[in-house]
Amino acid sequence: MKLTTIGCGYLGAVYAAAMASLGHDVVGLDVDEAKVAALNEGRAPFYEPALDDLIAESLRTGRLRFSTDYAQAATQQVHVICVGTPQQIDGPGADLRYVDAALDALAPHLDRSPDGPSLVVGRSTVPVGTATRLRERLAAASSAALLAWNPEFLREGFAVEDTLRPDRIVYGLPEDPDEARRAREILDAVYASPLAEGTPLVVGNYATAELVKVSANSFLATKISFINAIAEVCEASGADVSTIARAIGYDDRIGPKFLRAGIGFGGGCLPKDIRAFMARAGELGVTDALSFLREVDTLNNRQRDRVVNMTHRALGGTFTHKRIAVLGAAFKPDSDDIRQSPALYIASKLSGRGADVVVTDPAAADNVHAQRPNLAIAPDALTAAQGADIVLLLTEWAQFRALDPVALREVVATPWIIDGRNALDPQRWRDAGWTYQSIGRP
């Protein structure tokens, strides 16, 4: 099949390379020349294990290229919209300007493929109702192209694996049965073996496919805030949240995943998706149905402030002249993404309140420097911890999990650590002379 991806950010670059590796002919389109140039040299403009190799391999086969020239879409049949839908600057809803712009840029080049009818496929996370609106926009641009919605569920750090071996494939198809049949045939050809083999396929209308994605992310966010709420009760009662998570996770109706208590969720998806979902529900007149998501968001933010307060107490009620080593800035390990990062929020807040903060992160340091130039950055944990009055572990990178408490103790002023991710073995750190605190564990 001949495909374009519109948008070569996180989602688009991964999707383009993955589809080319399956044998499709793919043009990745983006308006950003620097990004396109880097991708054509086999370099992803962000940190993602396994992606550079996949891009380089597909470039070599000639089945993948990146371009800023949207006219290249004319030779392709399937056009996959992979642009971002960030939170609006002045509100909780999703900003759909990139989706609209992608469709408008594409429209003049549709309906020319020699291989059959054009299919526009939406993969971006959008508020329910967007696909129906885009369908009308396509018709207004006099395009006969079909439209389908096909949400993605990839996790950063596992993007290639999640794209090539998804848990499920979801199609959102047009209401008209004939259009739906034709759109489905094209999607089936895109996801032909080996990708579709053994992968459950779920088919619904546009609204259902749009809602699958936001429901999934809202459920994950709810699990995390739920366990963080239990962690707070554990702290007040002497119980251990890790043991509780393990015990309830054995019930397969609950499951063990996404029950790690800590400083909460961040990143480019969960926080913005639950806010956009609430905003959209409000527009649809069903605000009350999702009121629990407001609490999920509040609980998530509270976790961050709880760690700031814990640190304040540990430092004797003052940040003045206190040196704080912050291990981790990315919103999760194996990522350089600092969007909505709880770790970076905490580091900035401590610095803003007068502490002398030194941050270290194996991948996100450049991004931290670009966004928070006032934060001091160290190349590694041992350097960051020099003379520290307290150490905070805020992103559970393997490097930090493997830290030797005895060696780290040598360099700090006070051996006190707050493990914001419950990633370390309390006994090991206490045996090495540390005061060890974590979230919801005695």
- Tell me, residue by residue from 313 to 332, as one string, x for binding to ligand UDX by CB under 6 A and - for no binding: ------------------xx
Q: How far is the CB of 114 from ligand UDX (least distance, A)?
A: 34
- Print the SS3 string covering the chain: CEEEEECCCHHHHHHHHHHHHCCCEEEEECCCHHHHHHHHCCCCCCCCCCHHHHHHHHHHHCCEEEECCHHHHHHCCEEEECCCCCECCCCCCECCHHHHHHHHHHHHHCCCCCCCCCEEEECCCCCCCHHHHHHHHHHHCCCCCEEEECCCCCCCCCHHHHHHCCCCEEEEECCCHHHHHHHHHHHHHHCCCCCCCCCCEEEEEHHHHHHHHHHHHHHHHHHHHHHHHHHHHHHHHCCCHHHHHHHHHCCCCCCCCCCCCCCCCCCCCHHHHHHHHHHHHHHCCCHHHHHHHHHHHHHHHHHHHHHHHHHHHHCCCCCCCCEEEEECCCCCCCCCCCCCCHHHHHHHHHHHCCCEEEEECCCCHHHHHHHCCCCEECCCHHHHCCCCCEEEECCCCHHHHCCCHHHHHHHCCCCEEEECCCCCCHHHHHHCCCEEEECCCC
- Residue 279 as a binder of ligand UDX (CB under 6 A): the answer is no
In the complex with ligand UDX, the residue whose CB is nearer, 29 or 231, is 231
Near ligand UDX by CB under 6 A, which window of 90-98, 260-268, 306-314, 381-389? Answer: 260-268
Catalytic residue among 8, 82, 234, 269: 269
Shortest distance (Å) from residue 215 CB to ligand UDX: 11
Binding status of residue 441 toward ligand UDX by CB under 6 A: no
**Interface of this chain with ligand UDX, residues 336 to 365, rule: CB under 6 A:** none
160 is an interface residue for ligand UDX by CB under 6 A: no
Q: Counting contacts by CB under 6 A, is residue 229 touching ligand UDX? A: no
In the complex, minimum distance from the CB of residue 430 to ligand UDX, in angstroms, rounded to a whole number: 24
**Residue 234 catalytic?**
no
Tokens of 260: 């790690």
Q: Which of 54, 102, 128, 270 binds ligand UDX (CB under 6 A)?
A: 270
Task: In angstroms, give the least distance from the CB of 213 to ligand UDX.
Answer: 7
Residues 42-71, interacting with ligand UDX (CB under 6 A): none
Q: Are 103 and 138 in contact (CB under 8 A)?
A: yes
94 binds ligand UDX (CB under 6 A): no
How far apart are CB 397 and ligand UDX at their closest, in Å?
Answer: 11
Q: Interface with ligand UDX by CB under 6 A: which range of 77-85, 135-143, 258-266, 398-406?
A: 258-266
**Which of these ranges, 49-57, 257-265, 370-378, 404-412, lies near ligand UDX under the rule CB under 6 A?**
257-265
Q: Is 292 in the site for ligand UDX (CB under 6 A)?
A: no
155 binds ligand UDX (CB under 6 A): yes
3-state secondary structure 84-135: CCCECCCCCCECCHHHHHHHHHHHHHCCCCCCCCCEEEECCCCCCCHHHHHH
Q: What does the per-residue mask of binding to ligand UDX show for 171-210, with x meaning CB under 6 A? A: ----------------------------------------
Asked if omega into 194 is within 30° of 0 (cis), the reply is yes
Contact residue for ligand UDX among 103, 134, 154, 326 (CB under 6 A): 154
Contact by Cβ (8 Å): 78, 121: yes
Please identify, using beta-carbon distances, which residue of 35 and 272 lies nearer to ligand UDX.
272
- For residue 74, give every residue at least 6 positions away whose Cβ sits within 8 Å of its Cβ, in sequence order, or none: 109, 112, 113
Q: Is 156 in the site for ligand UDX (CB under 6 A)?
A: yes
Residue 231 sits in the site that holds ligand UDX (CB under 6 A): no
Nearer Cβ to ligand UDX, position 156 or 240? 156
How many residues bind ligand UDX (CB under 6 A)? The answer is 19
State the minimum distance, in angstroms, from the CB of residue 211 to ligand UDX. 14
Of positions 153, 215, 401, 409, contacts ligand UDX by CB under 6 A: 153
426 binds ligand UDX (CB under 6 A): no
Catalytic sites, residue numbers:
269
Residues near ligand UDX (CB under 6 A) are 153-156, 217, 220, 224, 258-260, 262, 264-267, 269-270, 331-332
